[in-house]
Amino acid sequence: MSKKAKIAVLVSGGGTNLQALINAQKKGIIESGEIKLVISNNSTAYALQRAKKADIDTAVVLKKDCSSQLDFEEKIISKLKEYNIDLIVLAGFMSILSETFTSRYSNRIINVHPSLIPSFCGKGFYGLKVHEAALEKGVKVTGATVHFVNEIPDGGEIILQKAVYIKDDDTPETLQKRVMRLAEWKILPAAVEQVSKNLIS
């Protein structure tokens, strides 16, 4: 396949979901797109090392170096333009993007969230907090969702979901690991392939 969607992955931390994407690309699960750039808002994010090991270009945009949210987003946009990016994947990116940004890339930004939306999502629900809330509520099934990103946190159209059963002895940490392994790392690459394919067809 000659034409591929150019992908940028936005990260803030360890980059386990980025690694899942890199692995999926190597295995040919993602064949309609290619990761061209990894952007982080944290200069010490381990995700940047993962990108370098995979020979993927990286960029760091720090909020503290920017005069405003708009300035921060403009710096990210200029990097995306530089690489002619078609698709943006938020993989543990700990910064809410404004409507100005999301509307500019309508149906071109996807995010993975560690619950079955509409449960345990929206403002304030991220990382371990999602799993803590699920256990507190006593739900028996949780999972992960990949969705398009719009101006409402976790409010965009759902692309893929996968359910994961909760065990009686689960802690937020064990649940987080299982949801990543059984759901996030499976549906994120599948969704990236699906959206990439649509973008280039």
Q: Count the helices and strands in the chain (H runs, E runs).
A: 7, 7
- With residues binned 3-state (H G I as helix, E B as strand, rest as coil), the percentages for the chain, rounded to 5, are 40, 20, 35
- Cβ atoms of 108 and 27 within 8 Å: the answer is no
Kindly name the residue from 6, 50, 113, 162 that is annotated as catalytic.
113
- Cβ atoms of 109 and 102 within 8 Å: the answer is yes
Task: Choose among 150, 149, 116: nearest CA to 134.
Answer: 116
Angle among Cα 33, 149, 70 to the nearest 5 degrees reads 105
Distance (Å, whole) CA 32 – CA 10: 19
- Cβ atoms of 73 and 44 within 8 Å: the answer is no
Distance (Å, whole) CA 17 – CA 27: 15
Does 113 participate in catalysis according to the annotation?
yes
Q: Which residues are tagged catalytic?
A: 113
